[in-house]
Amino acid sequence: MTEPSQAAISRLRTDYIRLKQDPVPYVTAEPLMSNILEWHYVLKGPEESPYEGGYYHGKLIFPAEYPFKPPSIYMITPSGRFRTNMRLCLSISDHHPETWNPTWCVATILMGLLSFMLEKSPTAGSMVAKDNEKQQLAEESWNFNLKDKTFHVLFPDIVKEIKKKMKEAAKKRKCD
């Protein structure tokens, strides 16, 4: 593992504080305690989208030279939009260092990722699925994420939220 530069450490700490003070809708992110260069995120599927109700876990791997070089972006939870555990090719990722802007922060990266998720533009790491398949994956995302130890450690409030939704869904099924 490459040691992060002081600029990277300082910037990532600042980005974290900003993200906590001014949260981005549908987005949660946490760095690993053991490695500030690896952040995990959860995108909540926006209402009236094929991803509604889903929780999509992924990670950002920042280079030691951040913010002067862009991060790698990965999706861990199946979504029907992005391939899992594969570097995504986006203008905000390390696939396109020529389009990277050092003023972009973690919040900007995650807003861009969510925006791209809601589009249908093809790119390396994207895939095509029908809306009903995406809706099925949104439902399956609950159990998928609950099997992930890192998800439990970094996102305990979301784990509680998912478990509550699972109980409500089970009650609803009993009533139907």
CA distance linking residue 165 with residue 171, whole number of Å: 10
Q: Which domain holds residue 155?
A: 6-175
Which among 7, 36, 86, 89 is annotated as catalytic?
Answer: 89
Does a structural domain hold residue 27?
yes
In a domain, 101, yes or no: yes
Identify whether the C-beta of residue 90 lies closer than 8 Å to the C-beta of residue 74: no
Answer whether residue 136 is part of any domain. Answer: yes
Please give the pLDDT value at position 174.
76
Instruction: Enter the DSSP assignment of 63.
Output: -
Instruction: Work out the average pLDDT over 115-128.
Output: 91
Q: H helices of 32-155, where?
A: 106-117, 131-146, 149-154
Please name the residues in contact with 63: beta carbons below 8 A apart, sequence gap of 6 or more.
Answer: 2, 8, 37, 69, 70, 71, 94
Convert the pLDDT of each residue in 10-65 to its tens digit: 999 999 999 999 999 999 999 999 999 999 999 999 999 999 999 999 999 999 99
Q: Note the pLDDT of residue 111.
A: 96
Question: 115 in a domain, yes or no?
Answer: yes
Which residue, among 119, 125, 112, has the nearest Cα to 85 in the 3D structure? 125
Residue 51 one-letter amino acid: Y
1 domain-assigned? no
* Residue 158 placed within a domain: yes
Q: For position 176, what pLDDT does the model report?
A: 63
pLDDT of residue 72 exceeding 70, the answer is yes
- Does any domain span residue 102? yes
Question: In the annotation, is 175 catalytic?
Answer: no
Q: Measured between alpha carbons, how far is 36 from 41 in angstroms, rounded to an integer? A: 13
Residues 6+ apart with CB under 8 A from 141: 54, 55, 56, 77, 78, 79
What's the CATH code of the domain at 168?
3.10.110.10
pLDDT of amino acid 89: 87
Decide if 96 is inside a domain.
yes
SS3 content of the chain, % helix, strand, coil (to 5): 40, 15, 40
87-116: per-residue pLDDT in tens? Answer: 998 889 998 899 999 999 999 999 999 999
- Looking at the structure of the chain, the number of domains it has is 1
Nearest-angstrom CA–CA distance, 76 and 168: 25
Q: What is the pLDDT of residue 40?
A: 98
Q: Cα-Cα-Cα-Cα dihedral of 163, 118, 122, 132, to 10°?
A: 60
